[in-house]
Amino acid sequence: MTNRDGIVGATIDKITHPNAAPPNDPNALKRLSTDVQTALYMSELAPTVDVTAQCGGATPGVTVWRRDGISAGGKAPKFSEMMEMTAPNIKQLADQMNYLEGYSQIRGDRAAEILGQISLPIPFFATIGYMDPSRTPRTLELLNAATMFSFTVIQRTKFALAVKRPIEFSPQVQPMIPTPTHASLPSGHATEAFLIARILWKLLRESQAPQYTDDAYWGEMLMRQASRVAINRTVAGVHFPVDSAAGALLGLTLAEHIHDVADGCGWTSSVFDGTSFNSESDFEWHALYRPDGDRIRKKIESGGAQWGSSKKHDHDGTSAAMLNWLWKQAVTEWRDVPASQD
């Protein structure tokens, strides 16, 4: 206040007014705080899905619905089935307790990783893709918005399926970390990890940088990291392998959905049938996805049983303006800086 009194001086008789700000302009996002940006991205993502539960059969099921098109245009929105998920039965889970016992033997080796992955495992993916807040701020904003969006879908799905945790099957499980209070399937860590891995792989591919376009090994490494995060939750004693299979498929499906909402590249519907999952099978990500070509397998099977499937669909509406801006900005961060022209 004293500073103003000392410098303002007499009233200016005539002063030039600023231009009016363009309304609803995505280019203005870069001048907003991170929390405001995230809220705006979520305003475009959140309405694109709905979740319904089916509880009348022998095992509970849930459907994740995708809104057709980005804007309803004043009309009632229409939805398409994006993912159907059915829970395994209690006997299948009991059979998978053998994996809990086996994986518990390597807790000492994995303890530091498991503790480091309790929160969002972005730093682990940053050891593969060159991410840093100063270098890739838009990529990190995109991943933050994507994982926040997925959290609601994950929790609603868990609640509908109500799959019990390993700690409820035996007093010898004794998880090395606190068991979350929500249900076990799908694994939220697996969902988030595979969502992050696939979005990153899409960004690398779209950047057209030669090291990413010529070799699918980058995608392979990202998926290996996602799988490591998922399996570590079984090592810790809080998840069954089947939880990771369901979560990985959900994460891969949501990544494709987000890409379509942001950039109109088509989407994938998928099915996870927990009742058909071979309880003697461990989680293996190669059964679900191929990095070369960035595609979920049409027929998903392991242990001699088919327990999942997928189908590719064309884009059916306009892209969300703010998410489109964010996606394109994130892609740019993975391109080489062009040489200066003297």
Confidence of residue 70 (pLDDT cuts 50, 70, 90): low
- Looking at the predicted structure, is the pLDDT value of residue 217 above 60? yes
- Looking at the predicted structure, is the pLDDT value of residue 334 above 80? yes
- Can you tell me the distance from the alpha carbon of 183 to that of 131, in angstroms, rounded to the nearest whole number? 32
For 149-204, how does the pLDDT look when each residue is reduced to its tens digit (9 = 90+)?
999 999 999 999 999 999 999 999 999 999 999 999 999 999 999 999 999 999 99
Confidence of residue 71 (pLDDT cuts 50, 70, 90): low
Residue 20 — left, alpha, or beta (φ > 0 → left; ψ -120 to 50 → alpha)? beta
- Can you tell me the distance from the alpha carbon of 219 to that of 320, in angstroms, rounded to the nearest whole number? 26
pTM of the full structure:
0.93
Q: Token pair 């290996």 is at which residue?
A: 224
Query: 297 and 252 in contact (C-beta within 8 Å)?
Result: no
Coil, helix or strand at residue 63: strand
Share of residues in the chain with pLDDT > 90 (%):
79
Q: Percentage helix, strand, coil, to 5, in the chain?
A: 50, 15, 40
Q: What is the token pair recorded at 97?
A: 């307790």
Exposed e or buried b per residue across 291-327, where buried means at least 16 C-beta atoms within 10 angstroms of its C-beta: beebebbeebbbeeeebbbbeeeebbbebbbbbbbbb
- Looking at the predicted structure, is the pLDDT value of residue 3 above 80? yes
- Looking at the predicted structure, is the pLDDT value of residue 101 above 80? yes
Q: What is the pLDDT of residue 242?
A: 97
User: Which residue type sits at 272?
Assistant: F
Query: 147 and 192 in contact (C-beta within 8 Å)?
Result: yes
Please give the average per-residue pLDDT across 251-258, as a whole number. Answer: 97
* The length of the chain, given as a count of residues: 342
- Can you tell me the distance from the alpha carbon of 111 to that of 117, in angstroms, rounded to the nearest whole number? 10
Q: Is the Cα dihedral 265, 210, 215, 328 positive or negative? A: negative
For 22-62, how does the pLDDT look when each residue is reduced to its tens digit (9 = 90+)?
888 998 998 899 899 999 999 999 999 999 998 777 789 99
- Can you tell me the distance from the alpha carbon of 37 to that of 28, in angstroms, rounded to the nearest whole number? 10
Cis, peptide link before residue 123, omega less than 30° from 0? no
Q: In the predicted model, what is the mean pLDDT of the chain?
A: 93
Please give the average per-residue pLDDT across 8-24, as a whole number. Answer: 87
Q: Are strands 267-273 and 79-86 parallel, antiparallel or unpaired?
A: parallel
- Looking at the predicted structure, is the pLDDT value of residue 206 above 90? yes
- Looking at the predicted structure, is the pLDDT value of residue 69 above 80? no
Domains and CATH numbers, the chain: 32-332 (1.20.144.10)
- Residues in Cβ contact with 185 at an 8 Å cutoff, skipping those fewer than 6 apart: 87, 88, 158, 161, 163, 240, 242, 243, 246, 247, 274
Confidence of residue 341 (pLDDT cuts 50, 70, 90): low
Q: What is the pLDDT of residue 63?
A: 96
